[in-house]
Structure formats: C-alpha cells, structure tokens
Structure 1
C-alpha cells in the first residue's frame, strides 16, 4: 500500500520540526513513497510549463521552488539512513533507486519548456524588481540548468540522461563494494599482546567488536575510511601495525566481488564523456566552471605551490623518525610513521598524544566543549530531547534554541561506528530551513568512534575531538542558514566553500577558554595540565609535512583522474600505475607517506559529492586561517564576533555569492599567508 494511512512517509509527520517518524518507517515504505513523490513533482513541473501566461518570477521560479517538497522530505529521510545504517535491505533499495533518482532529476533539469521559461525570466532580469536573494535564484537556476545540458538537443539529452543513470548506479556500487570490503578486511587478533599499546578502552572496543562478530575471546580492529588508522600511533607490535595498514590499503583491489578498479575506471570514462557532451575538455573542467576556483588550472597552481614545501617538510620529518628507528634496527616504512612520530613528539615536546585520552571523555567534550563554544559565540542553548527518536538506537536528539529563547532546530548525533555505517564523518540535513516552505532545520552529525563495552567511558583521541568540532561546524552552517528559497537552504553552497565553516569551528579546540572547559580528566575532574597545553600549542605545526603531503596527494589523484579527456579515459588504465605516475608528477611519490585515500577506497570522489573537488578542503582553509586571524585581531570568541560571523557568512546559506559574503565579513579578500604559517609552509 502507498497511501498516507499506511505509509508514514506520505503523511506530514506529527513530530516537532518535521522530524521523520523513524520508529514507524519500515524499509518497504521507501520505494512506494519515492514513486509517489516523483509523480507529484513531475505534475507540479508540468503545471508550470503548461501555463499560457508569460513567464514571470512568481509563476516560474517560485513555483519551481515550491515543487518537490514531498520528494525532498522522502529523500532526506532515506539517504540519512542509507549512509548511516545501510543494512542489506536498505542497500537493495538504494541500488534500485539510484537510476530512478537520476532520471527524475534529469527530466526536470533538462526540461526544454521549463528551461525556456527560466531563460525568459533571466533575460528580463534587469527589468524586474527583485530582492537580492530572488535575483540570485534566477541567476543560479539559469546557470545550473545551462551547465547541466538543458540547451542540448533531444538526442544529446537522451545520451546525457543515460550517462547520468549509469553513473548513479556505478557510484552506488562503489560505495557498496567499499563498505563490504572494509568490513571483511577488519583485522582479527587472537591475543591481547598483539595489541600492546592500546588503552583499556580501545582494547575493550576491539573485544566488543569481536563479540559482535561471534569471535568471543578475540579482538577485531575495524578500519577507518582513510588510509591510516589511529591505532598505528600506539601499537608497539610492528607486525600488528603492518597488518592494519596493509588491510586498509588493500580495499577494493583484491580481485574479489568487491574489487572497485573496474567500477572506478568506468566512472572516470563516463564522467569524461558527459563533460565532452556538455562542451568541456574534462570532468574537472566541467565541475570547476561553477566553483569559486573557476578552473582546473587555478586548483593545480595552488596544489603545486603547496606540494613542494610539504614534500620537503615530510622528508625532514622522515629523517627525524629514522634517527630514532635506527636504535631499533629498522628502516622506517609507512606503517611505522605514526608510531615513531609519537616518539619524536615525545622527544621534542615531551608530549604523548595517546595519553591525553582520559582528558577527552566524549560526553564532556560534547557538552562542555562543542556545545559550550557555540553558546559562547552565538548564545545557543542546546538540550537533549529524550522523547524524540532517531533512525538508530545510538542516535541522540537535541533541541537548539537561540539566545532569546526562540526555537532554531534539531541536532542529531550518531557517534559510534557499526558495520552498516559508511566510513568517515559527515553532516547532512534531514530537514532544511525555508521561509517559503515554513520549515526549520534538522541536521545530523555522523562519526565513527569505536564503541567501548557497556559501563566503559568513551575516551576520544585528539583527532576525534577535532572531528567532533569540525562536523558541528557543518551543523551550525545548516542550522544558521536563513533563506527564503529551498534551493539555497543549509549547506547548499559551492563545494569548495562548504568546508570553510567547519574548519573554522575546529580551530576553537585549543583556545584557552574552550579547552579549559572541556579537557578535564574523566575520573578526577582535573584540567589538562597547563604545561601540556603549552606543549600542544608548541607542537601544532609538528608533522604537518606528512599531513599536508598525504592530503595533497589525494587531491592530486582526484584531479588526475578527472582531468582525463574522453580518449585518455577510454584507454585500459592500470589503477596502481596511474596513481604512481600522478604522484611522481607532483613530487609526492614518497612510499613512506601514502596518499590519504587511494583510488579504490576514495569514497569522497567516486561515491560522494567531491569528484574533482577534494582540493576544496585546502582551498577553504585559506579562508579559514584568515578568518581565525580576524577573530584574534578583534577580541576572540565574543558574542559580537560570533554574531557577525553568523549573520554575514553562516546565515547566508547559498543565497549569495560566497566570496562576496566573505568580503562582507572580512572587509577584503582572504590572504594565504596565515595558512602557510599554520602548516609550516613558509620556508
């Protein structure tokens, strides 16, 4: 049945803030709801194009913004679940849905009659009396439809639709393969001695993971999305470190049912074909034409400028590691880097990062760190709603109020890893704010922290603390964006701008007034000692050669794949050889410093939204570093500064040019010097 009586996705939710009634939704509800939603939006768009009245902003652009509300609700509800609790049944729905979603999107984006009406309004734009957001909506809709191929002839549109549907299937397959291979390659250890160096909580989490897999008495270490693993820094057994990194790097390359090499090659080829059809030399050129960077050349210039000093710094760091490793009679390899980095850190700064975990208890970091910083900067009041249910028992729901007590939205937190959750960390919007639709934001943060046994505290690494702050920066962006039109809601900004707010928010973790509040020992309540804080500050640029190199290497691989022409992408490409040549080209081919993501598990670009866009983290960091300097110059984390940042940047959402919004906030364009200094790239 697909009626609203039996399918909770087809009726307005009775819950606050339009939170989906996840407790009532079953897997079999999704596909019928999608089919109803597709038909509803198609009818709404047909009503726009069937009008005999001349195109106007109201009867075309506003009507288009009103369309698709049901589809938006169903899709956001489903994709939240498919990424965070992708059971086999959910994955089957996603596979069937992928080409249907693509076809529906193309049917609207490539609709000739709709494009003609949008074009007519765009051509008359200067004669219309529109506010700034409305004017920008006309400009964006026209540009996006043009870049998507709305001006192509019917035969070209059909080919484009076919390409998009096939690509949607392939990217879903890539994600499914990666999740399966990541789960299969989780490393099993027979003896706790093999995991010497892990904390009691980490060992408990490994034992718990083994128990959940029916391996009582053994230990399972699950893999992270990126190449490395936090445990590599503390495992004293070199063979255990080797096994862990080897498993991580093997994903998608084992010649089994989950091998991603053929899938990614076809994705690259079809993306190149699509770009050529749209009049571009490569997929990267097509993507970057509508980003703040503007062109692949601009991205390449930045990456090459940073790669030379980053590689040099990594070599210097490697030499320092080797001097200590010589005492152990070994030659440093990739699986040794993190372990000996901590030895060098201890030697140079008398700092053991693994020993900091007792000061980073998850609940305290969340409430007295992440939430407290948001209260200090923006006056937010955040309280847990135990009466509201998420899509999984681990999900917690919080209500967010403004300083004046007015309702802002809901924040959901899904902290722990599980086999049905994709790797990494991310934010997404379940509901977006829109004056036109009368909706308020509901956002979720997903992390993949190992869950300890019941009764054991969740102690975070410093990297996990950083990730928690980072993802909440995205959440704030989604909560604060205040727009009229759904098209601009939440984090719907240029891809190479979207990381900017999150990267700013993660900077607050070391600010004295924030750190002192949340970094307290989980047993004694004692604050992190002042001398340790000083050493943390002194070591901020430590190991940045490695960190910058592994990131730039992944960014360059992304650009290399997506810079291929149709002819180049159609050749038989050996994935490993292609990667090696790309890294040699930019001088980042140091085998001891592997790329943060290799192609076969590079979910950001082959199954996520970052194709030809992984550079955006460093591109956004130019803005982020410059913004942090502004806060320092203007009195720090004050409400006045927070309100300015909220109103002029975060609150804009996608309703204006992002670089213009930045100039409005900063008073000028961003400068790169603060970034170079932060990453130790000035020499």
Structure 2
C-alpha cells in the first residue's frame, strides 16, 4: 500500500523484530490507520472470496491467514496502549473501534462466497493431504464462521450484526467505567496514623498518589482490581480496613455515571439471545463448546464439588483464625495474614518482602529459571523505547539464537487498568516470518527515587505467573499466526503461566534472588522454610473467593434471554447460595459490578478456566519435581511437547502424551488443602 508508509502506525519498522516506533506515533494517527487497514483487509478477503479457481487450503484458508497484516499491526499497537496507558482520546477511539472491528469481522464471517469456499475446503479436509495443524486450522476457521453467523439466514445475520455491535460497545464501556470508578473510589486519609501497618514505602506512595490526585494533604489508598485489597491485610486499624474494604466491594454499584448494573443486564441478555440464535441453550453452552471442558454442566458440577470441600475447610479456617470472636469481612484477610505469620513460629514471614526486590526477582529469579529450563537469555535493550517511559525492553534469545522481544511494564498509574496481564504486540508465525513481541503488565507500587520496589508474596507469584504467559508466546514455533502461542482454548491458556508459578519458591531459584535489598545478605534459611510452609497449600479463603467468582460467571451465563433479573445484587446473592458458596465473611474475588474478566474482557463463561487449568498445572508440577526439578531436559521436553505447539495440536492431548496418561485431579485437591496428601 503506497499510503501505508505515510502513517506511522502502519509503516514498517526498522527496529529489531519490528518493534513499533512508539515515539513516532500519536493518538491522532490511529483512526486514519484503521481506515486504511480495514479497507485493505476487506479488499484482500474479497479477492479470496471471488477467486475463480477451485477452493483449496492454500488459496482460501492459508490466504486468509496471510491477510490483514496491516490490521494486525494496528491492533497490536493500539490495544496494547489502551489497557495499560489509557487517556480520554484513547478511550473514545477504543469505543469507536469496538463497533467498527465487530462490523468488520461480521462482514468477513458472513460473506457468502467466502463461507462457501471455507465449507468446500472443510468438507475435503480428511482427503486433501493436509497436515495435522492444517486440518485443525480448517476446522477452526469453519467453526468460527458458523459461530459468527455465516450459516444463518438474512434475518438471523442482521440480528447477529446488531447484537454483536451493541455488545462490543457495552463491554468496552464496562472496562472504562470500572477504571474510572476504581480511580474515583480510592480512599483518602487525613491522618497518617490511620495507615499503621503499611510500610514506609507504601505510606510514601499513598502520599504521592494523593498529591497526583490534586489533594494538598493526606494519603490516598488506591484500589486493586480484586475484592481483597493487599492493604486490608496489613492495616492495623479496623476502621481503616473497613473504609478500604467498603470502597472495594461497592464499586460500580452506587448509582451515577459509573454504575454498571444496567450494562450487566443488557450484556447478559444479548449474549443469551445470540446463543439461542446460533442453536445453543445458553451463552455458557456457546462458550464452553470451544473449550477443553466437555460442557457447562460438567463445569458446574466441578465448581460445586470443589465448593463443598472448600466451604468445609473455610469454616475450620475461620474458626482457627478468629480466636473465639466473630470476624467481620474486612478483618478476615488481616487475621489470615496474622495466622500465616504465626505459622512461622519465631519467624515473621512478612520479612520475606525485604528479600524480594523487583530487579533481583526478575534477573536472578524469573529470567534465571527461564534460562535454566528453556535456554532463554534476556538482554536489556535500553536503546529501545517502549510505549511509556516506565516500560523496559529486553531482547530474548534461546540457546544463543534471537527469539523476539519482551517488554516489562511493572508500575501502577491512574491510566492503567487494574490487575496484571500479558499481551502480544506481534505474534510468532513461520509463514508470515514474524517473531514474538510480548508484554507483561502489572500494577506494582513505584518506589521513591533511589529506593527499591519490594514485592509481597502475592506479587512475587504474579510476576512469575505473567512471565509464564510470556514464555508461552516466546517459545511458540508454529506456521500459522492464529495457532501461535497463547491462542489456545481459554480454559487451557492459564496452564503454562500457572506452571511457572512453581519456580517462585523452588529452592534452586529462591536461593538466587532472595537477598536483602539493602545489605545483600541471603534470606535466612529459617525464613525461607517458614514461607514455604505457609504457602504449601492455598488458604481456603482464596479458594472460596475464586470459586465464588467462577460460579457467579457461570450463573449469569446459564440464564435464558427471558430470565434476566432486575436486581443484579439480589441475583448475585441467590447464585452464590445455589452454588453453596455464600459466605458473609468471604465475598467473591470479583462481584458482578466490577467483574471485568467476564463483562469487559474475554472470560465470559470461562472464569472457571483457572481451576480447570490448575488440574494440568498440579500434575505438571509433580512431573517436574519427580524428574529432578529445574532441569534443562525437562524444560525442553515441556517446551517441545506443549509450549511451542500453541493451538496447532490439541493441547490437552499433547499434555497427556507428555505425562504418558491423562491428568488426574488429586494433586490439585492436595495443593488446595481439600484432601490430605495420603487420600
């Protein structure tokens, strides 16, 4: 395209691995770039659809894989900016693009000539000499088209277009409302004594946050994405804990411009109507048909079985930590933290934070484990610029050969949505000749100049978790971009990242990074042992939090279009009670009104995927430990069998082939403390 080079979003980059030249791109460039990219993609698709030659894998399916490169480039840049560094203009662009991209996808999916060609190739897939990955790609393309409405009549397609566009608007707006309300709900304190229990660094960060928000005095406690707030587990004042807890649990449910309840009703109804139109009973059935789980009922039964065991364990846990008194919900995580500290005996496991400095954790923990297992080496590239001054760039090599780039965006800011995640700017593909550019985003508190960023235990695990996603993308070795890296079923995608968590406290890893941030002394053996003992099993509290959120997600999306409740919070309470997961002291990890994973992200009817993937993860952890732990041959076997394959093979079958059998649930139950190791 002659005009593509005129727009810096679409211009080819001469930076390593095609890293976008973020410094040359302004927000004003995006919509003009999409005008060009969308038109070019439609022209490419029309040429494929109108090809006079008989439909083949090469001239139809593979041609579709090769099309839309300008659009993929624009998406890789813009949507990587919009989540971690939003602003009013980007939010408006995202809203505009939500509709335009949905309509664009519908126009392609419902192109009758194109669908006819896809059907022809699909019908001949077993007899046309295709490789396994090629057959899998044909089947996925055909399913995608059918699920997008290609097989519907004209009236059905018109309704699909209308509903899909509206859903795109609603889900984009949900995420923006949540970001705005989370920022607006930050809690301001006038007296620093109210923050007793927080570290000096956290108190300094709260003062900076207050100043950044325009407060001449005071300390501002920003909210994290989940219900449970890290600060609530530390603050010694019950009144202070309650203020932060209440601010968190009531987000987007207090009326006004940030309230999401009407949006939830409309999202759930439209998803239900779309599922019925496509021949599914519910949106959950529609979603899970594409996952590795057999059906929605199987998922519901798993959640209920795990919930029954978790609630029993939770009652015992609450009795133990309460010490004979009734705990209010804002006191539970504080009491749990105290109980965890007491489990270390004379050792205060909170001191472990002093040995978990971000730079050491990255270089000598996360990256060192990846090198030991997979031969990955990470070389800082300060000469390369990310999309924000806080973003850092590393070049990644495997066994000395360049693989791609890794970008780390670690510090919180008001423009960044909460939580932690991995994103792809560029996906690996042999046919396209592209190498991966992977981003990890988190929301750590930025330290004062000259100070160090220290990680809590949860933050430490999260850094390893997100880099597990990055490894999945960096080790991808497939032909087709739609099968690359993390482009796997939603209930499998968390598996590699959960596996990578196991190395955070593995003796061979923790001994490398756990050094005092001031003295450089290694963490005392007794402290490390106490941390390992305290984290040997998940708390029942965390299991209940998670299962309750997963049950809520499933309950919302098993409704028919005529069953949508008027009272969102009343339905939430009934759904938790029906699932056996109602607890006055342990709310869900996300309540409905701020459940961005399912109402603003891609996890609708699939939040169960974390526990589903954990079955595979727990088995894989045992496989690694039985084979010797941090071992290059084991890492290579895992990479070759699973991580490098993406969705070019059935991922669950690939995992079973690696183990030599299908995964069993017992290791997961043991890890979660729901059965004893001997059962």
Instruction: State TM-score, norm by structure 1.
Output: 0.97
Map Cα deviations across residues 9-53 of structure 1 (whole Å, 9 max, x no partner).
Answer: 121112111111111110010011111111111001100111111
> Are 1:664 and 2:660 counterparts?
no
CA-to-aligned-CA distance 1:322-354 (integer Å, 9 cap, x gap): 216x4xxxx311110111112222333325343
Shift of 1:543: 5.7
In 1: Cα distance, 2:339 partner to 2:471 partner: 37
Partner SS, residue 126 of structure 1 = coil
Partners of 2:660 and 2:127 in 1: how far apart? 30
Match of 2:65 in 1: 65
Q: Which moved more, 1:273-282 or 1:346-355?
A: 346-355
1:86-97 mapped onto 2 (5 Å cutoff): 86-97=86-97
Equivalent in the alignment of 2:403: 408
Q: What residue ranges of structure 2 are gaps of 5+ in the alignment?
A: none
Measured after TM superposition, the shift of residue 486 of structure 1 is 1.2
> Which of 583, 587, 595 is matched with 2:580 structurally?
587
1:498 aligns with 2:496: no
Q: Please point out which of 341, 353, 374 is paired with 1:357.
A: 353
Q: Residue 445 of structure 1 aligns to a residue in which SS?
A: strand
Q: How big is each residue's C-alpha offset from its partner over 1:295-338, in whole Å with a ceiling of 9 and x where there is no partner?
A: 101101111110011011111111112216x4xxxx31111011
Within a 5 Å distance, the mapping from 1:530-569 to structure 2 comes to 530-541=525-536, 544-569=539-564
Deviation for aligned residue 1:294: 2.4
Q: Deviations over 1:277-302 (max 9, x none)?
A: 10111000000011100210110111
Map 1:68-217; keep pairs closer than 5 Å: 68-217=68-217
Is the 1:562–1:611 Cα contact (8 Å) retained in structure 2?
Answer: yes
Q: Could you tell me how far 1:679 is from its partner in structure 2? A: 0.5
- Indicate which of 546, 561, 567 corresponds to 1:574: 567
* Cα drift, residue 519 of structure 1: 1.1
2:518 aligns to what SS in structure 1?
coil
Q: Is 1:46 aligned to 2:46, yes or no?
A: yes
- Where does residue 594 of structure 2 map in the other structure? 601
Output one character per residue of 1:516-572: Cα deviation in whole Å (capped at 9) or x when no partner: 111111111122211122222222245621110000000000000000011112xx4
- Separation in 2 of the partners of 1:645 and 1:543? 25
1:648 matched to which residue of 2? 641
List aligned pairs for 1:421-460, cutoff 5 A: 421-460=416-455
Give the superposition deviation at 1:217.
3.5
Tell me how far apart the structure 1 counterparts of residues 492 and 10 of structure 2 sit (CA, whole Å): 34
Instruction: Write out per-residue CA displacement over residues 575-617 of structure 1, whole angstroms, 9 at most, x where no aligned residue.
Output: 1111100111121111101100000100000010000000000
Residue 224 of structure 1: aligned partner: 224
Q: Deviations over 1:164-203 (max 9, x none)?
A: 0000000011011100000000111112111001111111
TM-score by length of 2: 0.98
- 1:507 aligns with 502
- 1:631-671 alpha-carbon deviations (Å, 9 max, x no partner): 11111110000000111100001111111111222111111
Determine helix, strand or coil for the equivalent of 1:262.
Answer: helix
Query: How far 1:481 moved relative to its partner?
Result: 1.1
> 1:188·1:218 contact (CA, 8 Å) conserved in 2?
yes
Find out whether 1:56 has 2:56 as its counterpart: yes
C-alpha distance in structure 1 between counterparts of 2:129 and 2:94, whole Å: 43
Is it true that 1:389 corresponds to 2:385 in the alignment?
yes
1:524 matched to 2:508? The reply is no
Aligned residues: 674
The answer to whether the aligner puts 1:299 opposite 2:292 as a matched pair is no
Is 1:342–1:352's contact at 8 Å kept on the other side of the alignment?
no
CA contact (8 A) 1:103 1:161 kept: yes
Q: Report the CA distance between 1:132 and its aligned residue.
A: 1.7
Partners of 1:249 and 1:343 lie apart in 2 by 22
| Structure 1 Cα separation of the partners of residues 357 and 334 of structure 2 | 23
Aligned-residue offset at 1:3:
3.6
Contact 2:356 2:455 in 1 (8 A): yes
The CA deviation at 1:355 is: 2.4
Indicate yes or no: 2:277 matched with 1:273.
Answer: no
| Conserved 8 A contact 2:349-2:530 | no
> What do the CA deviations read for 1:447-486 (whole angstroms, capped 9, x no partner)?
0111122222111101000000000000000111111111
Structure 1, unpaired ranges of 5+: none
> In structure 1, how many angstroms separate the alpha carbons of the residues matched to 2:166 and 2:620?
41
Q: How far apart are the structure 2 equivalents of 1:312 and 1:408?
A: 48
Task: Please tell me whether the aligned partners of residues 482 and 651 of structure 1 are also in contact (alpha carbons under 8 angstroms).
Answer: yes
Partner SS, residue 391 of structure 1: coil
RMSD: 1.2
Aligned mates of 2:350, 2:234 — CA distance in 1 = 7
Q: Which residue does the alignment assign to 1:366?
A: 362
